[in-house]
Structure 1
Amino acid sequence: MIKKSARFLRLPEYPLSDLSKAKRKLISRGVDIIDLGAGDANLSPPPEVIQALAEASEKTEMSRYGFQAGLSSFREGVAGWMKKRFGVDLDPYQEILPLLGSKEGIAKLPLAFMDPGEIALIPDPGYQSYLGGVTLAGGNPLLVPLVEKHEFLIPFDGFKRETLEKLRLLYMNYPNNPTTALASLDYLADSVEFCRKTGTVLVHDNAYSEIAFDGYRPASVLEVEGAKDVALEFHSFSKTYNMTGWRLGWVAGGADLISALTKVKTFMDTGSFMAVQYAGLAALGVYDEWVPKNVAIFQNRRDTAVTSFNEAGFNVTTPRATMYLWIQIPNQESSVSFAKRALEEEGVVVLPGAGLGSGGEGFFRIALTVGNDLMKTAAKRLGRLIET
């Protein structure tokens, strides 16, 4: 057997990989599966986006390398959207970088800012690409438990001096996957100050900023004065516009930080398909009229899911953002065991909390990715697993 690198061997299994294999086997046997695992909704992008992609794909110049610069109109469109949505002024050519989805930028980022043995603070539970990127860069992930008594926020005190001396990255994600926790602008300001004092890059994954309910409007860390000196904020089209497979996003922040990530990407990819960037620009153009309707669908699904799971015997609070419910397993069963039984006995795919870090043990996550009838059925099926 060919030797694998030590960095590779440090990687855990990605959360959904084993479940996906098991799901495919059951489907091949004709089992009726309800998939609430991945945050990949069964909804379509705006029709204007599909039309824009079709039109752009016919243009010869769109099939050439985009490199990191990409389409000027896309960068300018993103800058205009950030100004309108958050009141943030950004130079479209120095402070914005198009991405092949925010995931790839997040994963590559540590290569620009970490040396082997240096530390990144990573929320636990949390999106596993944070840990994966740090691990592959040779860094040391320091998992910070997200606990209810701290409102699932990362505390900025109590770290040892030797930890702070080696600290290079702080990953945050609010609205949060998987806990659905929210962060105030004051908390984001505290995080900026912490990073300024410690010489740390603040990595804010804001993928769910537009999937918010009941009038709540999540903030951008870049609204904090001076944040661009230390912070990079990642945005995605995947959830806001139901474009998970299109692989398009952007990162915004100070020119020095953007330049560093740009250099890393220059050696690793040649940018996103320019026709997809053109389609992304069309998405931003229909934001005002289309996104509220899409959010209303998710809010309706959220309300149905909360009611259905509570009726099935779970204790579910109503989230104000994201496309998830974070549900405690009431019978002390491990999350992996529960998810395995959910799939094998009831044909329902859920994400075990432990797959997002040890801090997620005792919970499972469902995504609002199916219609209300299927969600009600899934809740009833899973309720059977906790009947005494």
Structure 2
Amino acid sequence: MTEEFHRIRRLPPYVFAEVNKAKAAARARGEDIIDLGMGNPDSPTPPHIVKKLVETVQDPRTHRYSVSRGIPGLRRALASYYQQRFDVALDPEEEVIATLGSKEGLANLASAITSPGDTILVPNPSYPIHQFGFMIAGASVRAIPATPDDEMLRALERAVRHSIPKPTALIVNFPSNPTAYVASLDFYKELVAFARREEIWIMSDLAYCEIYFGDTPPPSILQVPGAKDIAVEFTSLSKTYAMAGWRMGFAAGNRRLIHALTRIKSYLDYGAFTPIQVAAVSALAGPQDCVSEMRAMYKERRDVLIRGLTAAGWDVPPPEGSMFAWAPIPPQFAHLGSVAFSKMLLSEAGVAVAPGLGFGEYGDGFVRIGLVENTQRLRQATRAIKAFLHKHDVSA
């Protein structure tokens, strides 16, 4: 009984573990580490949402089992959000389900629709659950380019021609974690046309749709006519309302996929704690000034970070959305790879970032930098990075 379990064997060693271990050791030595590695919002949840949670939790009736697919008021609130934000009509009874964060929903839907040996198309680099949710379910993953452009579309055409068996599903995530790429509605139109023609499901991760820095809000794939024939979309309150620990997300779109997720979740959980669901209604249906303020805060942090890195001699493209910068490793360090470079940056500059390898092999030339500290700490981080780069005679 020494052989490792089959599904565990399919999972590679956790790439972030090495950096996390080094970070914990540095902190144990009393070092001040500026942690920009994890996408963990540092802002408090808006007061009116917390107030609703506290108010609801006082009612002992809310302490019983909840509803796996979400209380009716919450599903109606999410449908109303889609109508107002995207002009997309959703049936809250048939086309919406609440999830324990978008990550849980993605993984459980993968389990619901995947047979061993299925081929799934996943951008590389991408958020780990996008590929590993399907790998755990027994699928084979084929990497495609992560950019929302003709390169991805051409790769999808090749994948259909050359994959055996033919791909059954495609994952997309815009604004993207980790790359911060943002897709246009025209791109989604081409994607939907491809998927309908080839009879391939699309799972869209829209967790960062409210964190954008341009004049045009990121679209939903469900805005495309006919998208609900083949697509389901995952959203989350984690970043929009700084509710990451509350674990409140949603899936919306194709009825068959929603029904599949509903059925499998009915065996696995009783839904989020009812007071959390009620507070989530307050988030979606209540005042939205907090969302604009959150967006402005991340934009200010982005600008401070990019200016500081540019002054340090590190050329990093300013992200158009998400709470991350996707930073190419400076050329003089490129031979190290992202894990060794991240550990070096941690030990010599006291700044923790996420190695790009953790998001796929094509991310190994990058690190992900989170906008998860205030502007003062970000300035401190960029000064430390500048000293680190100058010490090693690095210039962009």
* Same fold, TM-score > 0.5, yes or no: yes
Indicate the residue corresponding to 2:354 in structure 1: 351
Instruction: Name the SS for the 2:186 alignment partner.
Output: helix
Tell whether the 8 Å contact from 1:146 to 1:153 is kept in structure 2 after alignment. Answer: no
Return the letter of the residue paired with 2:99: L
1:364 to 2:367 alignment: yes
Indicate the residue corresponding to 1:226 in structure 2: 226
Tell whether the 8 Å contact from 2:232 to 2:252 is kept in structure 1 after alignment. Answer: yes
Return the letter of the residue paired with 1:264: I
Instruction: Name the SS for the 1:167 alignment partner.
Output: coil
Deviation at 1:334, TM superposition (A): 1.2
Kindly report which structure 2 residues correspond to 1:60-71, keeping only aligned pairs within 5 A, or say none: 60-71=60-71
In the TM superposition, what whole-angstrom CA distance separates every residue of 1:225-270 from its partner, at most 9, and x where no partner exists?
A: 1111110100000110111111001000122110001111112222
Indicate the residue corresponding to 1:326 in structure 2: 326
Tell whether the 8 Å contact from 2:144 to 2:156 is kept in structure 1 after alignment. Answer: no
Kindly report which structure 2 residues correspond to 1:213-362, keeping only aligned pairs within 5 A, or say none: 213-330=213-330, 331=332, 332=334, 333-362=336-365
Tell whether the 8 Å contact from 2:37 to 2:368 is kept in structure 1 after alignment. Answer: yes
Return the letter of the residue paired with 2:208: Y
Count of aligned pairs? 388
In 2, Cα distance between equivalents of 1:287 and 1:15: 40
TM-score, scaled relative to structure 2: 0.93
Deviation at 1:193, TM superposition (A): 1.6
Tell whether the 8 Å contact from 2:206 to 2:235 is kept in structure 1 after alignment. Answer: yes
Return the letter of the residue paired with 1:370: E
Deviation at 1:90, TM superposition (A): 0.4
Instruction: Name the SS for the 2:65 alignment partner.
Output: coil
Instruction: Name the SS for the 2:159 alignment partner.
Output: coil
Instruction: Name the SS for the 1:295 alignment partner.
Output: helix
In 1, Cα distance between equivalents of 2:208 and 2:287: 15
In the TM superposition, what whole-angstrom CA distance separates every residue of 1:58-95 from its partner, at most 9, and x where no partner exists?
A: 11221111132331111111111110000000011110
Instruction: Name the SS for the 1:233 alignment partner.
Output: strand
Q: Which runs of 5+ in 2 are unaligned?
A: none
Q: CA 1:38–1:103 in 2, change beyond 3 Å: closer, same or farther?
A: same
Tell whether the 8 Å contact from 2:342 to 2:352 is kept in structure 1 after alignment. Answer: yes
In 2, Cα distance between equivalents of 1:46 and 1:151: 40
Q: CA 1:202–1:36 in 2, change beyond 3 Å: closer, same or farther?
A: same
Indicate the residue corresponding to 2:97 in structure 1: 97
Q: CA 1:250–1:148 in 2, change beyond 3 Å: closer, same or farther?
A: closer
TM-score, scaled relative to structure 1: 0.95
In 1, Cα distance between equivalents of 2:149 and 2:110: 30
Q: Which runs of 5+ in 1 are unaligned?
A: none
Q: CA 1:39–1:374 in 2, change beyond 3 Å: closer, same or farther?
A: same
Q: CA 1:63–1:173 in 2, change beyond 3 Å: closer, same or farther?
A: same
Q: CA 1:209–1:239 in 2, change beyond 3 Å: closer, same or farther?
A: same
**How many percent of aligned residue pairs carry the same amino acid?**
37
Tell whether the 8 Å contact from 2:70 to 2:99 is kept in structure 1 after alignment. Answer: no
In 1, Cα distance between equivalents of 2:154 and 2:79: 29
Indicate the residue corresponding to 2:51 in structure 1: 51
Tell whether the 8 Å contact from 1:165 to 1:198 is kept in structure 2 after alignment. Answer: no
Tell whether the 8 Å contact from 1:122 to 1:143 is kept in structure 2 after alignment. Answer: yes
Deviates more, 1:80-89 or 1:4-13: 4-13
Kindly report which structure 2 residues correspond to 1:10-25, keeping only aligned pairs within 5 A, or say none: 10-25=10-25
Deviates more, 1:280-289 or 1:33-42: 280-289
Indicate the residue corresponding to 1:180 in structure 2: 180
Tell whether the 8 Å contact from 1:156 to 1:191 is kept in structure 2 after alignment. Answer: no
TM-align CA RMSD: 1.8
Deviates more, 1:47-56 or 1:143-152: 143-152
Q: CA 1:320–1:154 in 2, change beyond 3 Å: closer, same or farther?
A: farther
Kindly report which structure 2 residues correspond to 1:83-162, keeping only aligned pairs within 5 A, or say none: 83-146=83-146, 155-162=155-162
